[in-house]
Amino acid sequence: MSGLKFTVEQIVWQEVPGEVSLAFLFSGCPLRCKGCHSADTWKEGIGTELTEEYLKGRLKRYRGLISCVLFMGGEWQPEALQKMLAIVAQEGLKACLYTGLDREELEAVSDGILPYLTYLKTGRWQME
Ligand code: SF4
Protein backbone atom coordinates (compact mmCIF):
# COMPACT_ATOMS: atom_id res chain seq x y z
CA MET A 1 0.00 0.00 0.00
CA SER A 2 1.22 3.51 -0.73
CA GLY A 3 2.01 5.86 2.14
CA LEU A 4 -0.30 8.41 3.66
CA LYS A 5 -1.29 10.99 1.09
CA PHE A 6 -2.95 14.29 1.79
CA THR A 7 -5.05 16.49 -0.46
CA VAL A 8 -5.32 19.44 1.93
CA GLU A 9 -2.84 20.98 4.35
CA GLN A 10 -3.84 24.10 6.24
CA ILE A 11 -3.71 25.93 9.53
CA VAL A 12 -7.12 25.78 11.21
CA TRP A 13 -8.54 27.54 14.27
CA GLN A 14 -12.04 26.05 14.62
CA GLU A 15 -11.60 22.33 14.11
CA VAL A 16 -9.95 21.63 17.45
CA PRO A 17 -11.41 24.04 20.04
CA GLY A 18 -8.83 26.18 21.79
CA GLU A 19 -5.98 25.03 19.54
CA VAL A 20 -4.23 26.38 16.50
CA SER A 21 -3.77 23.27 14.42
CA LEU A 22 -1.87 22.22 11.37
CA ALA A 23 -4.37 19.98 9.61
CA PHE A 24 -3.86 17.27 7.01
CA LEU A 25 -6.75 15.69 5.14
CA PHE A 26 -5.79 12.24 3.91
CA SER A 27 -7.14 10.61 0.79
CA GLY A 28 -8.38 7.04 0.59
CA CYS A 29 -11.07 6.88 3.27
CA PRO A 30 -12.72 3.49 2.74
CA LEU A 31 -15.94 4.15 4.66
CA ARG A 32 -17.95 5.86 1.92
CA CYS A 33 -20.44 7.63 4.19
CA LYS A 34 -23.47 9.03 2.43
CA GLY A 35 -23.24 12.81 2.37
CA CYS A 36 -19.47 12.89 3.03
CA HIS A 37 -18.01 16.39 2.55
CA SER A 38 -14.75 14.90 1.31
CA ALA A 39 -16.03 12.38 -1.23
CA ASP A 40 -13.57 13.83 -3.76
CA THR A 41 -10.75 12.42 -1.63
CA TRP A 42 -12.05 8.84 -1.39
CA LYS A 43 -9.83 7.67 -4.20
CA GLU A 44 -6.78 6.00 -2.75
CA GLY A 45 -3.38 7.32 -3.73
CA ILE A 46 -4.30 10.87 -4.72
CA GLY A 47 -2.50 13.84 -3.23
CA THR A 48 0.96 14.41 -1.80
CA GLU A 49 2.75 11.84 0.29
CA LEU A 50 3.24 12.81 3.91
CA THR A 51 6.77 11.68 4.66
CA GLU A 52 8.44 11.92 8.03
CA GLU A 53 10.87 14.49 6.64
CA TYR A 54 8.07 16.64 5.28
CA LEU A 55 6.17 16.62 8.56
CA LYS A 56 9.31 17.42 10.56
CA GLY A 57 10.01 20.33 8.22
CA ARG A 58 6.50 21.68 8.66
CA LEU A 59 6.59 21.41 12.43
CA LYS A 60 9.91 23.24 12.47
CA ARG A 61 8.52 25.97 10.28
CA TYR A 62 5.43 26.45 12.45
CA ARG A 63 7.20 26.08 15.80
CA GLY A 64 5.68 28.48 18.31
CA LEU A 65 2.74 29.19 16.03
CA ILE A 66 0.72 25.99 16.30
CA SER A 67 -0.28 23.98 19.35
CA CYS A 68 -1.75 20.89 17.73
CA VAL A 69 -1.64 18.71 14.64
CA LEU A 70 -4.95 17.46 13.27
CA PHE A 71 -5.07 14.36 11.10
CA MET A 72 -8.29 13.90 9.22
CA GLY A 73 -8.32 10.20 8.53
CA GLY A 74 -5.32 7.99 7.94
CA GLU A 75 -6.31 5.33 10.46
CA TRP A 76 -6.60 2.88 7.55
CA GLN A 77 -2.79 3.00 7.48
CA PRO A 78 -2.23 2.66 11.22
CA GLU A 79 1.51 2.08 11.18
CA ALA A 80 2.19 5.10 9.01
CA LEU A 81 -0.17 7.25 11.08
CA GLN A 82 1.46 6.13 14.31
CA LYS A 83 4.87 7.20 13.00
CA MET A 84 3.49 10.66 12.26
CA LEU A 85 1.91 10.87 15.71
CA ALA A 86 5.24 9.98 17.30
CA ILE A 87 6.86 12.90 15.46
CA VAL A 88 4.14 15.25 16.68
CA ALA A 89 4.69 14.04 20.25
CA GLN A 90 8.45 14.55 19.94
CA GLU A 91 7.77 18.18 19.09
CA GLY A 92 5.70 18.51 22.25
CA LEU A 93 2.52 19.24 20.32
CA LYS A 94 -0.97 17.94 20.92
CA ALA A 95 -2.56 15.61 18.39
CA CYS A 96 -6.10 15.18 17.19
CA LEU A 97 -7.61 12.52 14.95
CA TYR A 98 -10.87 12.79 13.07
CA THR A 99 -11.91 9.26 12.26
CA GLY A 100 -15.01 7.71 10.77
CA LEU A 101 -14.58 4.79 13.14
CA ASP A 102 -15.81 4.65 16.68
CA ARG A 103 -13.37 4.25 19.55
CA GLU A 104 -13.67 0.46 19.74
CA GLU A 105 -13.17 0.09 16.00
CA LEU A 106 -10.12 2.31 16.19
CA GLU A 107 -8.70 0.21 19.02
CA ALA A 108 -9.29 -2.89 16.93
CA VAL A 109 -7.38 -1.36 14.01
CA SER A 110 -4.44 -0.34 16.20
CA ASP A 111 -3.88 0.00 19.91
CA GLY A 112 -0.85 2.19 19.16
CA ILE A 113 -2.73 5.24 17.93
CA LEU A 114 -4.89 6.19 20.92
CA PRO A 115 -2.08 6.83 23.42
CA TYR A 116 -0.76 9.60 21.17
CA LEU A 117 -4.05 11.45 20.89
CA THR A 118 -5.02 14.45 22.95
CA TYR A 119 -8.30 14.73 21.04
CA LEU A 120 -10.36 12.19 19.16
CA LYS A 121 -13.43 12.86 17.08
CA THR A 122 -15.17 9.67 16.11
CA GLY A 123 -18.02 8.38 14.07
CA ARG A 124 -19.29 8.28 10.57
CA TRP A 125 -20.83 11.31 8.97
CA GLN A 126 -24.59 11.20 9.21
CA MET A 127 -26.61 13.13 6.72
CA GLU A 128 -29.30 13.99 9.25
S1 SF4 B 1 -15.44 8.71 7.47
FE2 SF4 B 1 -15.40 10.88 7.00
S3 SF4 B 1 -14.10 11.06 5.19
FE4 SF4 B 1 -14.66 8.90 5.39
S5 SF4 B 1 -16.44 8.70 4.05
FE6 SF4 B 1 -17.17 9.08 6.13
S7 SF4 B 1 -17.46 11.30 6.27
FE8 SF4 B 1 -16.19 10.88 4.47
> Max CA-CA distance within the chain?
40
Is 128 part of any domain? no
Q: What is the C-alpha to C-alpha distance for residues 71 and 123, in angstroms, rounded to an integer?
A: 15
Atom of ligand 1 nearest to the CA of 35: 7
Model pLDDT for residues 77-96, shown as the tens digit of each residue:
999 999 999 999 999 999 99
Q: What is the C-alpha to C-alpha distance for residues 24 and 76, in angstroms, rounded to an integer?
A: 15
Query: For the chain, what is the mean pLDDT?
Result: 94
Instruction: Count structural domains, the chain.
Output: 1
C-alpha 49 – ligand 1 centre gap (Å): 19
Which CATH number covers residue 48?
3.20.20.70
Q: What is the C-alpha to C-alpha distance for residues 61 and 114, in angstroms, rounded to an integer?
A: 26
Model pLDDT for residues 25-50, shown as the tens digit of each residue:
999 999 999 889 899 999 999 999 99
Q: What is the C-alpha to C-alpha distance for residues 4 and 26, in angstroms, rounded to an integer?
A: 7
Is 127 part of any domain? no
Is the CB–ligand 1 distance for residue 8 below 6 Å?
A: no
Is the CB–ligand 1 distance for residue 100 below 6 Å?
A: yes
Domain of 71, in residue numbers: 5-121
Is 26 part of any domain? yes
